[in-house]
Amino acid sequence: MKRLLIVGAGGHGRSVAEAVLDSGGYVVVGFLDDSFPELKQVWDVPVLGKVADMAQLRSVADCAVVTFGNNLLRQRVTAGLRAAGFLLATVLHQRAIVSPTAVIGDGSAIMAGAIIGTGARLGDGVIVNCAAVVDHHCHVGDFGHLGVNAAMAGGSVLGATAWMQAGSVLGCGVKIEAGRVLEPGEAVRS
């Protein structure tokens, strides 16, 4: 099994770690988090250093995933990991439903109860949180983020680094520009 480094030991980082531990696809060797050295471990998994220490830890892990909810920060740290030679892990919770025709980019996290439909395309570093839906033929740009229970109807597009907060909805075929933030419960119709 590949050795995984999780960058970020907050709530989403811990959720991603649980998904990894449940699936058995990787061995979690540790976290990186800027609360180190005060935070020394999460459960029985060590916090190995701060985010800036990533290049020094290349020998302890084969791959990494960035778990910050902030899309621009996740993008920047992911670029640093790539530059340091890490492969990017994609984490699929075993209770997510993912179409075999969907394409999911490197470094993405698909959480419990999420549904990824037929022909959906997700870029690198995407988060699809618990119970979120990316319906058939939708596209999520690099480092896009769907919050809990957010939904994209068929053929809709979420631009790069855009964020659909909890419960927000895109109607069929709606396109959201890069970097936009939808408020909780906001609906965008065509």
- In tens, the pLDDT along 17-60 reads 999 998 878 999 999 999 999 999 999 999 999 999 999 999 99
Q: pLDDT value at position 131?
A: 98
- pTM score of the predicted model: 0.96
Nearest to 152 by CA among 124, 180, 172: 172
Low-confidence ranges of the chain (pLDDT < 50): none
- CA–CA separation, 134 and 118 (whole Å): 9
The sign of the CA dihedral 101, 106, 111, 114 is negative
Q: pLDDT value at position 44?
A: 95
Q: pLDDT value at position 25?
A: 84
Q: pLDDT value at position 190?
A: 74
Q: pLDDT value at position 23?
A: 84
Q: pLDDT value at position 163?
A: 98
Instruction: Tell me the C-alpha to C-alpha distance, in Å, between residue 168 and each of 95, 102, 111, 149.
Output: 22, 22, 17, 8
